Amino acid sequence: MKPMHASLALAVALALAACSSSKAPQTSAQAPAKAAPTAAEAHAFVAQMNKDYKAQSLEPAAAEWVAETYITGDTQMLTAKAQERYLKWLSDEIGRARAYENAAGIEAADKRALQLLKLQTAIPAPRNPEHLAELTTLASRLTAAYGAGKYCDDPKDPKSCKNLDDASKILAEDRDWNDDLAAWRGWHGVGRGMRSDYVRFVELLNEGAKDLGYDNVGTMWRAGYDMSPADFNAETDRLWGQVKPLYAQLQCYVRRKLKDKYGDKMPNDGTIPAHITGNMWAQDWANIYGLVEPYPGVGGLDVDARLKAERDAAYRKLLAGFKGKPTADDLAALDRHADAEQALAMVRRAEDFYTSIGFPALPASFFEKSMFLRPRDRDALCHASAWPMDFGTDVRFKMCIHPTAEDQYTIYHEMGHIYYFLAYKDQPPIFQGGANDGFHEAIGDTIRLNLTPAYLHRIGLSGAAGEDPKAVINAQMKLALEKVAFLPFGLLIDKWRWGVFDGSIKPEQYNTAWWELRRKYQGVSAPVPRDDAADFDPGAKNHVPTNVPYMRYFLADILQFQFQRALCKDAGFDGPLYQCSVYGNKEAGAKFWQMLGAGASRPWQQTLKTLTGQDDMDASAILDYFQPLHAWLEEQNKGVDCGWSGEG
């Protein structure tokens, strides 16, 4: 999956309030005009702002961490109150900052810092104090509703209730049409309870955006990319145009294989029902690799089996060392202990890759404070995410780790966020962020591209790695089901929200518009009819109720291949891009670390150029990487109508 990861803790939880004054400004007749601030005064303001920004951010970050790892009504309330206090300070700070934006001779870094102050969050809050309190309460409630979400097969039997982990496991492992449908329908029902809150949430967000001078939240989000919102919209369309031919071939092939499996249950309109893709949101199709594997058994890429074998071996070792006859409680404790050992081993495996290219070892506090398993005694939001807690070395992530390939790869991804936090920790707090939010998501995903069959074999997670052309196609297919399948999903979520925010998608159209976009970009359809008056299927995806912008993940899917091509060049690799792994190459790692260290201190185009030599995003690297698979898919799909109804 694409974790969020990316989300930085504060960007998820905190809002931005516009400054207002209860007093009318004095006219020139009332008081002499104040002299414009000097560049030195602007510099002094920015320096103090950075100190205060750090100090004021610590409490809401800690409150949100507790609220997501210990979901109760109390923690929701405490988080909302911490946010309100932070917002009061931030509102005043933004008001003060406006006086310095046009100071004569202001340094470029100071001007950028003042601009970033307004764009640190995805959640602009209204200046009305009552509306501000309402917004923070809604934000906390929507996050908690998702994190504590459950559905019950039998409403009268609590033991039949399932959370997202349970439902996702069914979709990942069970290939029965009806079982998958029940799990998909059950979890998507969780969104229904969010619908009315979300409608009001959008109204308040737009009120806050307008107070800041933006016409709606979508425009504000797009303003954070060092280009105009209109140019950014065009840029995402351009990048999608580059990669769509590859995606269309993959969708066509997968659909035919699913038709072989499910026969007449498949629709005749060229779409794939969302529930049979092996993933709750049909964003990642890797779990159905066994159904679509080009050359069955070639290449030994069953990472799932090897991870589960590791975990089982850990349990057997613990059981063998137990003295006496274990009780049921003892066995449960041993089981939990084995889970913890396996989770730690998976985290250490990812850390090893980063340290092999010269990155520092993780601080001890990371292992002491992170959440690696779902708590047994409370609700927690298990969605994987990385957290910078103090603008320094207190970095952590939360995740409910299982011994699966998907979770192992997610850990590599989240570790990318963690190391980005550490790389730019010496920047001023306002510059402690990604060059753009796509960069933050791309770091760990770039490392994911280095987990080649040869690397996996080296660390014991795959069979022998050879140059068999069939094994190459298998490996590329497995990765494409994760990376290429994700591309349109990464694009459409914010396409939907931009429409919601600008009013072109009305509340009564939320669900219909959602599925129109799913069909248009993905060729994916709802498996059962949806009720626009009741269903709120977007709410079944974490990033919607938590209001985390999603275009970052689409950009990351492009950037990671661009980064990888540059790193392999720095490493002196001279071969097909898909064969390259920079594991152990400190020269490539040093170049990567240098780029990460710049944080958000300059426009992303400049930062991109330091690593890649290009100052624009370019999807040609993803086409280079998957060239063997693309050619193979075109051959397999010859004579087949590869379009779908509603395609755009």
Catalytic residue among 131, 275, 543, 630: 543
Token look-up 């379009």 returns 643
Annotated binding site for chloride: 225, 552
Q: Is 414 a catalytic residue?
A: yes
Write 177-183 long-range contacts (CB < 8 A, 24+): 177/262, 177/265, 177/276, 180/275, 180/276, 181/275, 181/527, 181/528, 182/153, 183/275
Annotated binding site: 225, 413, 417, 441, 552
Closest CA to 498 of 228, 223, 216: 216
Annotated binding site for Zn(2+): 413, 417, 441
Closest CA to 542 of 495, 493, 483: 493
Closest CA to 3 of 276, 382, 378: 382
What residues contact 580, with CB distance under 8 A and at least 6 apart? Answer: 450, 452, 564, 567, 568, 571, 573
Catalytic residue among 84, 134, 351, 414: 414
What is the SS3 assignment for 432? coil
What residues contact 557, with CB distance under 8 A and at least 6 apart? Answer: 442, 445, 483, 486, 487, 490, 622
Identity of residue 511:
N
Buried b (16+ CB within 10 A) or exposed e, 408-421: bbbbbbbbbbbbbb
Q: From CA 259, how far away is CA 272, in angstroms rounded? A: 9
Q: Is 203 a catalytic residue?
A: no
The number of angstroms, rounded, from the C-alpha of 351 to the middle of its chain's C-alpha atoms is 20
What residues contact 166, with CB distance under 8 A and at least 6 apart? Answer: 183
Q: Which two tokens stand for residue 538?
A: 């977007």
Q: Is 551 exposed, middle or buried (0-12, 13-18, 19+ CB in 10 A)?
A: buried
Identity of residue 24:
A
By annotation, the residues acting in catalysis are 414, 543
